[in-house]
Structure 1
């Protein structure tokens, strides 16, 4: 039987092309996947393997990772036991983790000043009936242990305590000993139990000129007492790693932008802040800002907007790898964390991803910016770039470093050294 030489050659060529195709697929698969990802589609991470990349530090736009600071507050020693009273301070955490940090600090300071027992708070969302237990979001054991020596902590009010006697008391954020003595203590002495609520006359996270007696207690409460419970902690970690995987062309580094479209029309976004600067920036303004300070089109951007909104298209036009959380949250977590009417869990994801990103851009001036900045300062992630309208074609990113960092005037600098 004769051998057709043409068939042999054709077979060899076919095999060679097949091998080349396999190598091309292995090399190009991830870039192709990334280029096709729109901001609103789900990514099948469950069935896709991603290459890991080494994250370079301190290079160009990403250089903000300074040395991680260490807590330098003095933990209360419990030497005020003779001042302990039989009463209780109750309160709720509301409006998301950016508020929780401040609410915890005020409650601990008030309870310690009064010698009262602090009841572990529940967590309430923006909708009526939206209520959950503290341990649904935070690690209750970590919180309880962190308060040892600072205040007594109880999981619940004792059965014999009547809530009918409970008096509602409002205190300003960063409450002082003088305010407590004048406005809170008389009510507490009369009732023996108060329900505390913090209000925010202004967003003030700047450190005081002189370190006060309550600063160490506030530092402990704000930066040493709240840790996410394991399921949420693992979810945030996995989402951060997925963003890093999508950021192969920037060495695994990504930008988090706090931009919530519904906030742009609210009163807080109209006009200027206390320094005369614009308070909020829309997607197009953020996109132009990032491009002018040097971020290229391959930069991966996480936006805190809950769901993809058409106004974000202008950001995606300049930065195709722009995502909201719905694009890459694990499929088995989507129903619990995104598809419910409870926005509290979404706020937790936003806050902690913003705290872990390589660069944070607060397009909205407010408490999330202030308290994310505090957490980032403590972990050495000080690359916080505040948007501005840049008249020239380009500018240095260092010119837009947050004053909290450039002037070292954030309260966190009283807590870390």
Structure 2
């Protein structure tokens, strides 16, 4: 498989699979932490795609100093989880209202983990016109290889690194992807992770919605990164 595709998928086992930091840090935790968040790197071709997408978003973000938000929002996952009234996940309109109420304006650039545009995302684009999916910012000559594949694993890898490299990360869907991205961001010092919530008033401070992984420093990544 490695010779034909050039990819290796690692299956690992660590006791702290829920990504919560244990009360007593051990050498095993530190080693596991480094193994999960401080060692693996993208193969050059995939890394090149990610870098080009990040640069594209920065170019599109001139009105916001080259900064962009990555939102883990996938329509198929929202449908599977039944997110209507579910605090574990938020739909496009809920995310749009959350971002607007904590101070982001219409010039904010947003990257979605959704691969292609879906009409259900229009509610988000109405408030934030600079909202993009992989399809709209991936280099044309790379789409056949990385976007039109039957296997979505590569897309997930791209999303993981896009969400890790963004200036702000917003997990619309709670789960292991969110926890893994949080770990990678903590390891690289990018701790701007804002967790959505229903805000009753007209505005709120973004600092009130910083991920507990960061505010309480209870993520497993803190076992080896300060």
TM-score of the pair, normalised by structure 1 = 0.51
Aligned length: 226
Q: What residue is the counterpart of 1:235 in the other structure?
A: 49
CA contact (8 A) 2:38 2:187 kept: no
* Segments ≥4 residues shifted beyond 4 Å: 267-272
Q: How does 1:111-190 map to 2 (within 5 A)?
A: 135-136=6-7, 174-175=14-15
| Local SS of the residue matching 1:136 | coil
Residue 385 of structure 1: which of 170, 188, 194 is its match? Answer: 194
* 2:186 maps to 1:315: no
Q: What residue is the counterpart of 1:293 in the other structure?
A: 102
Closer, same or farther: CA 411–359 of 1 in aligned 2, 3 Å: same
TM-score of the pair, normalised by structure 2 = 0.92
Closer, same or farther: CA 291–271 of 1 in aligned 2, 3 Å: closer
Please state how far the C-alpha of 1:175 moved relative to its aligned partner: 2.9
Closer, same or farther: CA 317–268 of 1 in aligned 2, 3 Å: closer
Structural RMSD (CA): 2.4
Closer, same or farther: CA 216–268 of 1 in aligned 2, 3 Å: farther
CA contact (8 A) 1:137 1:229 kept: no
Name the larger-Rg structure. 1
Structure 2 gaps, min length 5: none
CA contact (8 A) 1:137 1:228 kept: no
Q: Of the two structures, which has the highest relative contact order with CA contacts closer than 8 Å and spacing of 6 or more?
A: 2
CA contact (8 A) 2:69 2:168 kept: yes
Please state how far the C-alpha of 1:234 moved relative to its aligned partner: 1.1
Please state how far the C-alpha of 1:320 moved relative to its aligned partner: 0.2
Structure 1 gaps, min length 5: 1-121, 124-131, 144-169, 177-202, 273-277
Q: How does 1:40-119 map to 2 (within 5 A)?
A: none
| Local SS of the residue matching 2:110 | strand
Please state how far the C-alpha of 1:270 moved relative to its aligned partner: 7.5
Please state how far the C-alpha of 1:332 moved relative to its aligned partner: 0.7
